[in-house]
């Protein structure tokens, strides 16, 4: 009997020991699974390098904070930087996971393998790009592939000082280019060899690009293989050259050298030193801040007298976001990019900084209704005659060359035709 009891006790003890072992193993397994879950739940961290600063960077941070709050698995940190730092970092493979850039770098950077081709991701996710303003999508397309997405767009119109125009006998802004030319000359005051007021300031940027657009610039051949000695750009050069000749290029440079800072109450347009200027949608926001009592108007660019079909022409330049090809987190970066350029975040960001949205559906959003001057720009930006320089490998160099040749044309060192031949000869081999 004792033997039977002893055997039962031993059996029970064995079961208890085995049970404890199972429990212990189970506890260890649960602990390991919990640790693995913790590792899985560690968020992917994305570095977003952008080109904004000051209040604009603060506005972007507010939008990104919203993403971080609603996406526990992805966390985005912002770094305000410049293009050169991006280039240096990307060349060493230590760059960001997502970044902002200038539209004119797309073709060059894409051809060098710096930008991730988004086309397959877009097709895989059935991502609809039809809502983006067409001119903005063209700037991020290279060889029929998309390498970035636009978040904002910028279009220049003409700002004019109503008081100065009325004093010169103008109750409305002229639509034709010949009338515009007469008006800016009439508004320019020069006494005893000294300029006292400029009706208009000849500039390479944005002036030359807007004049080229209103003359109907094509920039490159239809097949994208040749840089055109574009008559529209030649005419743009000539327009500013004639104005500079009439009032003296050196005298204009001397007068403009005394101008106050652009983002200040001393902006020459705010002070009445300049009557008419090409500028973007953000200037209306600046006027409200620095010159709230300024009586001004906003008008479309004039059109050549013999080309009414070019009415409401303009030059568009978007702010773009791309994913570097070197990122270790392409899927998470794509998730963030899609969210950032969706309607709601786009509206929140662009309305805060006084930029136009790159989505057509966003342009009717009430967020823009309180921004002075935006109504005109929102309508204008969607016009069929608003254009950009088509993507080409040497696009950044092309823009730089136009600016470099501009001063030489206006000071008489070279003719507009010679300038375009020079640009073509230098850059066409890179096409």
Q: Based on the domain organization, do 182 and 283 belong to the same domain?
A: yes
Q: Based on the domain organization, do 361 and 279 belong to the same domain?
A: no
The per-residue pLDDT for 293 is 97
Evaluate whether residue 309 is within a structural domain: no
Asked whether the beta carbons of 415 and 409 are under 8 A apart, the reply is yes
Q: Based on the domain organization, do 199 and 277 belong to the same domain?
A: yes
CA 301 to CA 313: how far, in whole Å? 6
Q: For residue 171, what are the domain limits? A: 157-300+394-430
Q: Any idea what the CATH number is for the domain that residue 211 is in?
A: 3.40.190.10
3-state secondary structure of 194: strand
Question: Which residues have a Cβ under 8 Å from the Cβ of 115 and sit 6 or more positions away?
Answer: 106, 109, 147, 148, 322, 323, 324, 325
Tens-place pLDDT, residues 313-367: 999 999 999 999 999 999 999 999 999 999 999 999 999 998 999 999 999 999 9
Evaluate whether residue 18 is within a structural domain: no
Q: Based on the domain organization, do 186 and 74 belong to the same domain?
A: no
The total domain count for the chain is 2
Evaluate whether residue 63 is within a structural domain: yes
Tens-place pLDDT, residues 373-426: 888 999 999 888 998 888 888 999 999 999 999 999 999 999 999 999 999 999
Evaluate whether residue 66 is within a structural domain: yes
Evaluate whether residue 418 is within a structural domain: yes
CA 60 to CA 348: how far, in whole Å? 9
Evaluate whether residue 35 is within a structural domain: no
Q: Based on the domain organization, do 221 and 348 belong to the same domain?
A: no
Evaluate whether residue 334 is within a structural domain: yes
Q: Based on the domain organization, do 172 and 293 belong to the same domain?
A: yes
Q: Based on the domain organization, do 331 and 242 belong to the same domain?
A: no
Paired strand residues for 319? 102, 152
Q: Based on the domain organization, do 269 and 374 belong to the same domain?
A: no
Low-confidence stretches of the chain (pLDDT < 70) are: 1-40
Q: Hey, CA dihedral for 330, 336, 340, 341, is it positive or negative?
A: positive
The per-residue pLDDT for 9 is 41
Q: Based on the domain organization, do 341 and 407 belong to the same domain?
A: no
The per-residue pLDDT for 40 is 58
CA 208 to CA 212: how far, in whole Å? 6
Q: Based on the domain organization, do 88 and 168 belong to the same domain?
A: no
The per-residue pLDDT for 41 is 76
Q: Based on the domain organization, do 197 and 252 belong to the same domain?
A: yes
Q: Based on the domain organization, do 171 and 271 belong to the same domain?
A: yes
């Amino acid at each position: 009997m004792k033997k039977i009891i002893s055997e039962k006790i031993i059996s029970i003890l064995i079961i208890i020991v085995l049970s404890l072992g199972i429990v212990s193993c189970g506890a260890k397994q649960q602990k390991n699974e919990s640790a693995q879950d913790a590792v899985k739940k560690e968020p992917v961290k994305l570095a977003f390098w952008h080109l904004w600063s000051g209040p604009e960077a603060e506005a972007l941070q507010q939008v990104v904070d919203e993403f971080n709050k609603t996406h526990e698995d992805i966390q985005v940190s912002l770094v305000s930087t410049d293009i050169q730092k991006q280039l240096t970092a990307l060349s060493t493979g230590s760059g960001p996971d997502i970044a902002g850039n200038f539209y004119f770098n797309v073709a060059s950077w894409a051809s060098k393998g710096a930008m991730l081709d988004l086309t397959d991701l877009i097709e895989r996710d059935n991502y609809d790009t039809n809502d983006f303003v067409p001119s903005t999508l063209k700037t991020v397309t290279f060889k029929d592939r998309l390498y970035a997405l636009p978040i904002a767009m910028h279009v220049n119109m003409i700002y004019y000082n109503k008081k100065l125009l009325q004093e010169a006998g103008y109750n409305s802004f002229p639509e034709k280019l010949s009338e515009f030319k007469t008006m800016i000359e009439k508004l320019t005051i020069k006494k005893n060899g000294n300029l006292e007021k400029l009706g208009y300031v000849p500039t390479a940027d944005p002036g030359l690009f807007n004049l080229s657009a209103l003359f109907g610039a094509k920039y490159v051949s239809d097949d994208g293989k040749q840089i055109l000695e574009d008559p529209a750009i030649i005419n743009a050069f000539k327009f500013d050259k004639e104005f500079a000749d009439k009032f003296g290029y050196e005298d204009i440079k001397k007068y403009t050298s005394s101008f106050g800072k652009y983002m200040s109450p001393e902006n020459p347009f705010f002070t009445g030193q300049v009557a008419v200027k090409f500028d973007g949608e953000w200037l209306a926001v600046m006027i409200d801040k620095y010159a709230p009592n300024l009586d001004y108007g906003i008008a479309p660019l004039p059109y050549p007298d013999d080309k009414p079909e070019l009415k409401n022409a303009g030059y568009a330049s978007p702010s773009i976001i791309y994913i570097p090809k070197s990122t270790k987190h392409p899927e998470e970066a794509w998730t963030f990019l899609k969210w950032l350029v969706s309607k709601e975040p786009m509206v929140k960001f662009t309305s805060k900084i006084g930029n136009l949205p790159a989505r057509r559906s966003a342009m009717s959003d009430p967020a823009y209704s309180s921004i002075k001057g935006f109504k005109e720009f929102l309508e204008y930006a969607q016009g069929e005659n608003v254009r950009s320089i088509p993507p080409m490998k040497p696009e950044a160099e092309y823009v730089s060359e136009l600016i470099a040749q501009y001063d030489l044309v206006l000071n008489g060192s070279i003719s507009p035709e010679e300038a375009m031949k020079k640009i073509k000869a230098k850059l066409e081999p890179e096409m």
